[in-house]
Structures are given as C-alpha cells and as structure tokens.
Structure 1
Amino acid sequence: MTDVLAITDHRQGELRDVSYEIITAGSELAAETGGDLHLAVINGDVEAFADDLNREGVDVVHTVDVGEEFNHDVYKQAITQLYDELAPQYVLAPNSVNGLDYAPAVSVALDVPIVTDCVALEVDGDALVANREMYGGKVETTTEVDAGNVIATIREGEWEAAEGDGSASIEAFDADIDESRVGSTVTAFEEVAGGDVDISEADFLVSVGRGIEEEENLSLIEDLAEATGATVSSSRPIVDNGWLPKNRQVGQSGKVVTPEVYLAIGISGAVQHVAGMKGSDTIVAINTDPNAPIMDIADYAIHDDLFDVVPALIEEFR
C-alpha cells in the first residue's frame, strides 16, 4: 500500500482552487511513498472536471457520476468503496466545508486515523508527519501518525496549484450507492448575505487595515482599486468596525486568498491575517512601521505614510 487517493472539491459547477492544490500535495506524498496518485471527482460534470484535473503528477482520475450536488452520505459511500478498491496508503481531502463534512465519517467507517487542517505533510519511515497551526496561527505543531493508513485534510492556499498537462488515465468508477442510507438531499445553494464579491477569486487585491484611521478614508482605497482594476478587501478590524462587509475579510476568521498581487495598506500583519493571504504570488506592503510583521513577508515593502503613497499610486495608474 503506497498509493495516494485525493478527493477533489467543486461547487455550483466549478472546481475550487483546492482541487488543484491537493494534486500537488498528493503527488509530493506519492513521490515519497513510491506509489501512484489517484484523483477522485464525485458528482457534477465529472467528465469535464476530469479533463481539467488531468495535470502533471496525476496517474489516474476516477470519475464517480452519482448526482449533481454534494451529499454527505453519497460521498461517504463512494469514498469508502474507492478505498476498498484501491487500498491507498493515504487519503487526502480538502479542509473545506464539504471535506470536513465527510472525512471524519469516512475515518470512522474505515477505522483509519485522521489528521485535519494540515499545512505541510511528509513521510518519515512508516509514519505520516503533519504540520498544523494552532492558537490562531501563533504555534505550529508537528503530528506524527504512526499507522499504515491515514486520512488527512489539507488547508487551502498552502500548496501551489498543479499546472502542466498530465497523462493520467481517466476511469469511471461505478459506486454502488445504497439509497436507503442517504438521509438528506441538497435542494439548493444560496450565497451568504452580502456576498457581492468573492475575494478568493480575485487576481489583484487592495487590502486595507486599521491604518486607514477613519471610514471616510476608505474612498481613497476604492479610488486606488478602480484605477488598478483591483478588488477591495480588508483585515478584521475594518469588518469589526462595520466599515466593510464580512465577505471582504481576509484571514483565519475570514477568507483564504491567493491573488497574483496582494497590496496590504495599513495592515500590521497579525498571524491570523497572514494565514489568509501568505499564499499570494506577490505581496506589497505599505506601512509607517518598518518593524510591522507584514513587512517581513512582503516582496516589496514601502515604509511610508499611506496617505502620501496611495494618492501617488492613483495618479500614476490613471
């Protein structure tokens, strides 16, 4: 048993970013075990999803056509049957709403240990070593699971998305779903109120923190976003003050984002915020405090007053 089985995630007809990240995590583990990476896509337009997921590092994509919407009982049955068929050493699932719904149930059904919210994984002999963050990201722990088989859920934004065309075989898996054990049905999907923008999908985020001082000054940030074609997001204090809606919050208690450019304006860089944006391709920080934590992770750090820098940027881009 050296293979890895990774479960992908999709919502409303679209694959979520973590589906490409789990390929990277799974292929790295498979390289360490010497096994193959098996990818499973359950429900929805499985054929189209499989073609898109055929990235470098994937050996087999298993399509499980058992409905359109996510269902706890269907996923549980399909994954346990895949496990029985493939006998993988490790099973990876996203640490998402859906993944945390079915993964513990699969763990119990298979009598296999589970470790959740992993930010790094490696194999050490017969053990799986998982890094996890606790206490709002202030502490990183190492969990060693010394078992033949392990289920692990991975945090979104911690692995690079897999790229490159793959040469995986695509195989249909005929899951035998016992309808008498399906106790619920998804009838509709509704966005959370205030979800005018999904910041997790943005390529360029202009994010503002308490350094903006007053709500009236947000208009300056909005002008910059308009000039650059960016989307406005924020740290938690801005949302707590009621200046921006919850769906704009980046961080551990907000959304995990991985834009091409993340411009942090007046944000100190608390660990809870950094946990939500550290996967950004390029981080630019503007802060009057050269010792602010955000400056340590920024690719470009501007030590200056945002009320001087932002107007200059607006003028330049316009």
Structure 2
Amino acid sequence: MTVLAVAEHRRGELRDVSFELITAGRELAREIGGDLRVAVVNGPVEDYARTLSREAVDVVHTVDHGAEFNHDVYVQAVAELTEAVDPTVLLLPHTADGMDYAPAVASRLGRPLLTDAVDLTYDDRLAVTRERYGAKAAATIEVNADRAAVTLRPTEWPPAEYRGDARIEPFAVDVDEAAVQSNVNGYEEVRGDVDLEGADVVVAVGRGVGAEENLEPIFELADALDAVVGAARPVIDAGWLGPERQVGTAGTTVDPEVYLALGISGAPRHVAGVKGAETVVAVNEDPAAPIFDVADYGVVGDLFEVVPALLAQFR
C-alpha cells in the first residue's frame, strides 16, 4: 500500500505546502502500513528531487515536461503516474494550482475527491476531516472506496525537515500534445508587494481600526517590524484595504512567526486562517473577544494607544 503526494513549485522554488504534504503523507503511510512517494512535475525536477528526497520519503518520482505548472500536462502526468504507482491515497495541495488539476485527475481515474482536508486518519478505511460553517464545526467523512484523492489545506501540518536521501526515479509520461490546449508564458504579480504567505511577521487590522484614515499608524508599525499588513474581512468589505490583504479561509491562510492582531474580534473563518502562526499577539478593547482564545499574548486596550507605544519601542 502506498501514499503518493504531489509537490508544488512556482518560479523555481518549492512551496511550503510541498513539505507539509510530506508530513501528512508520512503519518498516513504509517497508519496504512505502506510507503510514501512524492512526485514533482516540471521545472528543474532534479534539483527539486534532491530537496524532497528525505528520510521520511521512500521514493521521489520526477516528471520533466516543461518549466512551470500547466493544467493539461499535470492532468496527464499525475493521472499516468497514479495509475502506475496505484497509491491507496493520492495527496494534492489545496491551492490555486492544486484545485486546478485535482478534479480532472480524480475524474480521469474514477476516484472520489475530498477537498480542503485539515486532518486524515486510516483505520480499515480513509477518514477525512473538513471544517464547515466558517470553521465553526468539523465533519469527518469516511471514504467508502479502496482508492481516493484528497487535497490538503496549507499550514495544517508542520513542514517536514531534511533528514536523509530517498530513491529518485524519473517517470516518463507519454503526453498527448494535442490535448495540451494551454501554455504558461510567465507570471504577472497582481498583489504588488503584498506577500502574506511568505511573511515572517504579519500585522493585521480589524473593524476596531474604525476608518480607513486610521490605517497610517498600522503601516508605520508594520514598517518598523519589517512586516506585511493584513486585514480581517470587515476591513476588506468596507473597502479600506484591497482583497489581496484578507487573512482567513476566505482570503489567505498564513503561517508567520508572529501574527499581531489589532482590533480583530476573532471570527472562526479568520482564526482558521492563522492557526499556522507560531505566536499570536492580540490587541482588543473587549476582554471577551474570541481572538484571545487563540492568542499567546493578549492586550486588553485601545489599539490607538497600544500601537504608538509599540512603534516607539521597536523604533
């Protein structure tokens, strides 16, 4: 029995979710009593394979057919490799790229597809946990099938650490070029300098900021901390900041070293998007705000008094 995970890369770098898939895949492989294999498609696959080949992985399969992600190539490559390896569970990232090809692969293979998983267990059959109702509840679904495909939500598993070397096996895919109807010529950065996913520190603001004109000290604090400014949904809905800054399951899921939540009440959808943060610091006037339930440190106070004090301290 085998677990097969498909790594993800972009612009010449493996994405964090690739290593999270290895952690989840190894846990599942132990429960199944099988091995863990990882596939990497396109790009400098040999370089990626050397990085992915770690003690927790038994085999890394490489498919060299292009430089970047391509829907048509990925569907064919992942489907053919899955048919050859015949894994009990196929693990894919729940990302823009992953959800682009995952349904097509599952359909081609005739496998059930379960998306946005936050937990996996295997005891005679696969059980997948998904959050529902804006992360207010969780549902565990038992899969009544011998084979399944699952997409994993980023940041739910810790990234695997480098420990050793696995076997690397190139896999030749007979790509039907007539079926490749699209081509990736490059990427255009539409978020400007907003990189919530890669930020070490995120300073996020909520409804408590009161108005758009009150955002200036928030950005000053973020500059002092070399941080990226994020926001809860009410700030985005009010039009005070662009949607590229929304943090939460409806926006961007983040995993910074420090997440500073200013005037954020802590709605379930928002909290679910920051579970990967190492340290959460919350500032809110309401001592009963739900954000304090997940905060490592909390300050009950006016953010317009706390922010200037923090800014003076860090400057």
Is the pair's TM-score, using the shorter chain for normalization, greater than 0.5? yes
Q: Which residue number in structure 2 is paired with residue 285 of structure 1? A: 282
Instruction: Give the whole-Å Cα distance in 1 for the aligned partners of 2:212 and 2:130.
Output: 36
**SS class of match (1:191):** coil
Q: Which residue number in structure 2 is paired with residue 142 of structure 1? A: 140
Q: Which residue number in structure 2 is paired with residue 27 of structure 1? A: 26
1:146 Cα offset (Å): 2.1
1:138 Cα offset (Å): 2.3
Q: Which residue number in structure 2 is paired with residue 267 of structure 1? A: 264
1:6 Cα offset (Å): 0.2
Instruction: Give the whole-Å Cα distance in 1 for the aligned partners of 2:197 and 2:237.
Output: 20
Q: Which structure 2 residues correspond to residues 51-66 of structure 1 after superposition, within 5 A? A: 51-66=50-65
**Consecutive aligned runs of 4 or more in structure 1 exceeding 6 Å deviation:** none
Letter in 2 for 1:35: G
**1:211 equivalent in alignment to 2:179:** no
Deviations 1:64-117 (A, max 9, x none): 101112222211211122122212111000111221122111112111111111
Match of 2:273 among 264, 272, 276: 276
Q: Which structure 2 residues correspond to residues 121-132 of structure 1 after superposition, within 5 A? A: 121-125=120-124, 127-132=125-130
Aligned length: 315
**1:109 equivalent in alignment to 2:78:** no
- In the alignment, is the contact (CA less than 8 A) between 1:113 and 1:150 conserved in 2? yes
Instruction: Give the whole-Å Cα distance in 1 for the aligned partners of 2:8 and 2:205.
Output: 30
- Quote the RMSD (CA, aligned, Å): 1.4
Q: Which structure 2 residues correspond to residues 1-318 of structure 1 after superposition, within 5 A? A: 2-125=1-124, 127-192=125-190, 194-318=191-315
1:38 Cα offset (Å): 0.3
**SS class of match (1:221):** helix
Deviations 1:166-192 (A, max 9, x none): 321111111111212222222332233
Instruction: Give the whole-Å Cα distance in 2 for the aligned partners of 1:82 and 1:249.
Output: 36
Using the TM superposition, name which of 183-192 and 107-116 deviates more.
Answer: 183-192
- In the alignment, is the contact (CA less than 8 A) between 1:56 and 1:163 conserved in 2? no
TM-score, normalised via structure 2 length: 0.96
1:141 Cα offset (Å): 1.0
* Identity of matched residues, %: 55
- In the alignment, is the contact (CA less than 8 A) between 2:195 and 2:228 conserved in 1? no
Unmatched 5+ stretches in structure 2 = none
- In the alignment, is the contact (CA less than 8 A) between 2:91 and 2:149 conserved in 1? yes
Letter in 1 for 2:2: D
Deviations 1:2-59 (A, max 9, x none): 1100001112222222111111111110111111110000011111111222234111
**SS class of match (2:236):** helix
Instruction: Give the whole-Å Cα distance in 2 for the aligned partners of 1:204 and 1:55.
Output: 28
Instruction: Give the whole-Å Cα distance in 1 for the aligned partners of 2:207 and 2:294.
Output: 19
1:163 Cα offset (Å): 1.2
- In the alignment, is the contact (CA less than 8 A) between 1:56 and 1:162 conserved in 2? no
**SS class of match (1:37):** strand
**SS class of match (2:134):** coil
**SS class of match (1:207):** strand
Unmatched 5+ stretches in structure 1 = none
Deviations 1:106-140 (A, max 9, x none): 11211111111111100022x11001112222221
Deviations 1:183-233 (A, max 9, x none): 2222332233x4332111100011111111122221111221122222211
Instruction: Give the whole-Å Cα distance in 2 for the aligned partners of 1:141 and 1:67.
Output: 39
Deviations 1:279-308 (A, max 9, x none): 111111111111111100011111222122
**SS class of match (2:97):** helix
Instruction: Give the whole-Å Cα distance in 1 for the aligned partners of 2:7 and 2:235.
Output: 33
**SS class of match (2:178):** helix
